[in-house]
Chains A and B, each alone.
Chain A
Amino acid sequence: DQQVKQNSPSLSVQEGRISILNCDYTNSMFDYFLWYKKYPAEGPTFLISISSIKDKNEDGRFTVFLNKSAKHLSLHIVPSQPGDSAVYFCAADLTGGGNKLTFGTGTQLKVEL
């Protein structure tokens, strides 16, 4: 089951620069997308979400962009901080799907000093 894919297992960025994490999906019925951050030994922490009726949502340093025609979304973090170093998961949901989130495999972000 590869309905949500994160093709980059890892990403390294310098502090202060922009981090861009990517996610692709195959199910055109997905209409709600979320990004979660996960530190070791902790559960996923909700970061930001976007509905399919929008193409951008911003919350502080985090912005999510959605390109429905390409079935692609991205998370931008600017400026990146060392505390952002974590695994980032993309997840998708669909109306009437029983609130069943489908997760990607995650991208390990490392923000270096």
Chain B
Amino acid sequence: EPEVTQTPSHQVTQMGQEVILRCVPISNHLYFYWYRQILGQKVEFLVSFYNNEISEKSEIFDDQFSVERPDGSNFTLKIRSTKLEDSAMYFCASSRQGGSNQPQHFGDGTRLSIL
């Protein structure tokens, strides 16, 4: 069964450094998402992306965050100048289409630890 893959599984970075989290969505999916889960808290939406544009973003997704689809298969989340509070599990997801009634399929996540 096709799946969303994320790399690396664990990223340790010094505060203030830039980090790029990588995702390969399911190949025939057109919509892509990033979510995060801070330890002990809910899974929170960050951003949705379609047709090389951000469709929706949350309050969390401020100017330090950016997303990109650099080629036909990868989808990346960049965090500039990381802060301690950016430590979390980051999940990438994709769906075949947008709109309601379209389940999103998640990768296994990248654990980001900011020191």
Neighbouring B residues of A103 by C-beta, 8 Å: 42-44
- Whether the Cβ atoms of A43 and B55 lie closer than 8 Å is no
Which residues, 90 to 113 on A, are CB-close (under 8 Å) to B?
91, 93-95, 97-106
Counting CB contacts under 8 A, is B38 at the interface? no
* B91, B99, B103, most chain A CB atoms within 10 A: B103
In B43-98, the 8 Å CB interface with A consists of: 43-45, 48, 55-56, 58, 91, 93, 95, 98
In the complex with contacts A98-B56, A100-B58, A43-B107 CB distance below 8 A: yes
Nearest CB to that of A45 among chain B residues?
B106
Fill in one digit per residue for B15-47: 1 if any A CB lies within 8 Å of its CB, else 0. Answer: 000000000000000010101000001111100
Bound CA–CA A72/B115 (angstroms): 41
Q: What is the CA–CA distance of A91 and B91 in the complex, to the nearest angstrom? A: 15
Instruction: State which of B48, B103, B106 has its C-beta within 8 Å of the C-beta of A100.
Output: B48
The chain B residues found within 8 Å of chain A, CB to CB, are 4, 6, 31, 33, 35, 41-45, 48, 55-56, 58, 91, 93, 95, 98-109
CB distance from B33 to the nearest CB of A (A): 7
B4 touches A100 (CB 8 A): no
Q: Hey, which chain B residues are within 8 Å of A99, CB to CB?
A: 31, 33, 48, 55-56, 95, 98-99, 102, 104
Say yes or no: is A74 at the interface (Cβ < 8 Å to chain B). Answer: no
Interface flag for A89 (CB, 8 Å): yes
Name the residue on A nearest B57 (C-beta). A98
With contacts A98-B55, A99-B56 taken as known, whether A42 is within 8 angstroms of B108 at the C-beta atoms is yes
Interface: A75 (CB within 8 A): no
Q: Given A49-B103, A100-B45, A103-B43, do A41 and B98 touch, yes or no (CB 8 Å)?
A: no
Q: Which residues of B contact A104 (CB under 8 A)?
A: 42
